[in-house]
Amino acid sequence: MSHLKIVKPEGDDRFCGNDKVIRLKVEIIAGMYWEEPYSFQLDIRFDASLMDLHTVIQRELKFEDDHLFSFTSGRTPRSRVMEYRPDDNSDDFSMEGFNDISLNEVFPLPKAHSLYYHFDFGDGWLAEIRRVSSQPGELSKSKYKVVSRSGKRPVQYPDLDCEGTFVEVSEFFLDSLIPKLPETDKVYLYLDPVPMNWGWRKLSKVIAEETDLEFTDDKILLFYNRTKDRLKLLFKEAGMEQTLDRFLHEQSFVLPAPEAGKSYLTISRENLSKIFKMEIL
């Protein structure tokens, strides 16, 4: 794990023990479509990981969890005195290493320092995270609880007036890439939502561990995100793993009923084409 660890002063036992709770204030301070101040406070277990904190922020903002992220700390976002990140050699730029960095490794921070959460390095979403002095409440089984909100929640992907442009790009996208898919009727939809930033290694691992399918050249595997408006195909072309992403601009789709005990379902090639043409399945 290639992250730097803050060494706490000797005798500082304010946050010792995994059953402690810390109150944090998360304030959005930048982003592509950030317009107005927005912040929230939450109580979170001190043994929670940076991955847990990332998940909390994504859920609170109602974002898609579809891009890479990082955590740094310092007096300002640019100072980056400390950087917390998974191993540089992780497959598919995996973010799983953040599960191994707990909040009790990060806090307390030096005086006047904040923790910064960077998400989607293209759109540049940035949150400042500070410890709040007020006494946190008790948590039962959950790792966190949002206790207050202030301001207007930002929107990750606002409805922009660009439908014509999108249709032209989509038609080119379909004409140029769909023919490369395997000529097969073995199309399988995995029934649990997955983050759209997952690459082929992680997706194929999920299929191997959670289903009885084998990822072979004659199969097309289909995945969707939590809000069912983004899709990812996984397939092989000439023995090489390929992924294909699709953003359903105007609508989501309805999942057919699965067979009992199955973590996936079989769909027809025709219905696969309907999904990619923005029709309801």
Beta strands in 56-191 (DSSP E): 69-74, 82-84, 114-119, 125-131, 144-151, 187-190
What pLDDT is attached to residue 9?
Answer: 35
- Could you say which architecture CATH assigns to the domain 21-151? Roll (3.10)
Q: pLDDT per position in the chain (281 positions), as tens?
A: 334 433 333 333 333 334 589 999 999 999 988 988 999 999 999 889 999 999 999 999 999 888 889 999 999 988 888 888 665 444 444 577 788 889 998 999 999 999 999 998 888 999 999 998 767 777 877 788 999 999 999 999 886 544 443 333 344 443 444 446 677 878 888 988 888 778 888 888 888 988 888 888 888 888 888 777 778 888 887 777 877 777 665 555 666 666 667 788 888 777 776 665 533 33
What pLDDT is attached to residue 148?
Answer: 95
Cβ-defined contacts of 244-251 (< 8 Å, 24+): 244/177, 244/181, 245/196, 246/173, 246/275, 246/276, 248/275, 248/278, 249/163, 249/166, 249/170, 249/278, 250/163, 250/278, 251/278, 251/280
What pLDDT is attached to residue 249?
Answer: 53
Phi, psi (deg, nearest 5) at residue 173: -60, -45
> Angle 135-138-140 (CA atoms, 0-180°, nearest 5)?
160
Secondary element (H or E) of residue 59: helix 50-61
Structure tokens at 87: 């191993």
Listed by start position, the domains of the chain span 21-151, 163-276
Structure tokens at 3: 């992250």
